[in-house]
């Protein structure tokens, strides 16, 4: 944990106040990081390797003020929670947003306080839960415009579902088996390099805001505030980078032409 600086982290996520080993502090840290550090895959779009050792994650997300995807965002969260004394460890899951069975390529976080456990996830883009989810089957939990629950599946174990317009949708499944560094390296390598990976074929960003969400897919920027959506098509030029900085705080050290072309 030598690569983690508490003061720098708290400044990066705009967090003020005391931290105790309780649910309220867990929820506050989760919320603060979620609002401050965007979900994004632009290093992949630039053909760069995604380094997930603790030093690289802290350097990129905290000191360089960039965002990242699940292995980076939840990697940073686990580091932070452990540094502040929480019992936290990574889990790996399968994404269920399509009909195809996926590998364990999504990293989430299990946190336990006084024999109660929660799933805490900052790395699932615009659909990432805004609050910790109790590790209890069939107990829906709602926050703002989000509703989630965990259900049991005899094949996949726990499945996290979200409720949209009265319909429960599978997001990802996971089990509680130990996850080792090599497991995370394998998942990260596939997700960031394989030609079939969603992340090597799209430009993606998401950042929660008060009462809403800003998200980007390819060149479509969507703002959802108080349930109202506004969609803008971005130009295929350097103004794209200006939008990344203005809306998400993502400042790339690259020219627009260096990004992988949109299909």
Catalytic positions are 70, 106, 121
CA dist., res. 93 & res. 109, Å (int):
10
Query: What's the 3-state SS for 193-215?
Result: HCCCCHHHCCCEEEEEECCEEEE
CA angle, corner 44, sides to 39 and 49, nearest 5? 115
Q: E strand or H helix at 204, and its extent?
A: strand 204-209
Question: Left (φ > 0), alpha (ψ -120 to 50) or beta: where does 220 sit?
Answer: beta
What's the token pair of residue 145?
């415009």
Residue 253 DSSP label: S
């Amino acid at each position: 944990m030598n690569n983690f600086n508490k003061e720098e982290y708290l400044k990066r996520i705009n967090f003020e106040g005391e931290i105790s080993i309780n649910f309220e502090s867990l929820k506050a840290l989760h919320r603060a990081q979620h609002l401050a550090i965007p979900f994004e895959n632009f290093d992949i779009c630039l053909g760069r390797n995604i380094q997930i050792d603790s030093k690289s994650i802290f350097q990129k997300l905290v000191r360089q003020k960039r965002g990242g995807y699940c292995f980076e965002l939840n990697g940073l969260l686990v580091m932070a929670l452990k540094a502040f004394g929480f019992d936290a460890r990574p889990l790996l899951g399968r994404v269920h947003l399509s009909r195809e069975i996926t590998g364990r390529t999504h990293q989430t976080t299990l946190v336990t306080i006084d024999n109660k456990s929660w799933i805490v996830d900052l790395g699932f883009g615009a659909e990432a839960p805004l609050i910790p989810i109790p590790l209890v089957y069939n107990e829906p939990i709602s926050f703002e415009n989000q509703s989630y629950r965990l259900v049991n599946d005899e094949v996949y174990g726990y499945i996290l579902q979200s409720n949209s317009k009265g319909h429960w949708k599978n997001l990802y499944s996971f089990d509680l088996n130990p996850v080792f560094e090599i497991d995370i390296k394998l998942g990260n390598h596939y997700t960031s390099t394989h030609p079939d990976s969603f992340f090597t074929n799209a430009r993606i960003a998401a950042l929660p805001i008060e009462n809403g969400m800003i998200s980007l897919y390819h060149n479509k920027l969507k703002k959802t505030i108080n349930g109202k959506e506004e969609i803008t098509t971005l130009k295929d030029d350097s103004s794209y980078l200006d939008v990344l900085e203005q809306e998400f705080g993502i400042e790339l050290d690259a020219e627009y032409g260096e990004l992988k072309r949109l299909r």
